[in-house]
Amino acid sequence: MRFKVENMHCDGCAKGVTATVKEADPSAEVQVHLDAKEIVVSGGRADAGAVRDALQAAGWKAAPGG
């Protein structure tokens, strides 16, 4: 799953986004592409809607795609 995270600007943001995804799905692997403001989530059990909802609830401007 790919997500564009518009308000991810720094390494601290990347850590926060990763932690949010891991909270929603501890088995997920998260790759962060900070320059592209994009994350790739793989290996998890949660669907894209659940991950997006968790990111948005935490204040991240996340949209599927990227």
Domain interval for residue 24:
2-60
Give the pLDDT of residue 66. Answer: 59
Residue 47 is part of a domain; what is its CATH number?
3.30.70.100
What backbone torsions phi and psi does residue 42 show, to the nearest 5 degrees?
-140, 165
pTM: 0.93
Mean pLDDT by 10 residues, the chain (66 residues): 97 98 96 97 93 97 86
66 falls within a domain: no
36 falls within a domain: yes
Give me the number of domains the chain comprises.
Answer: 1
15 falls within a domain: yes
65 falls within a domain: no
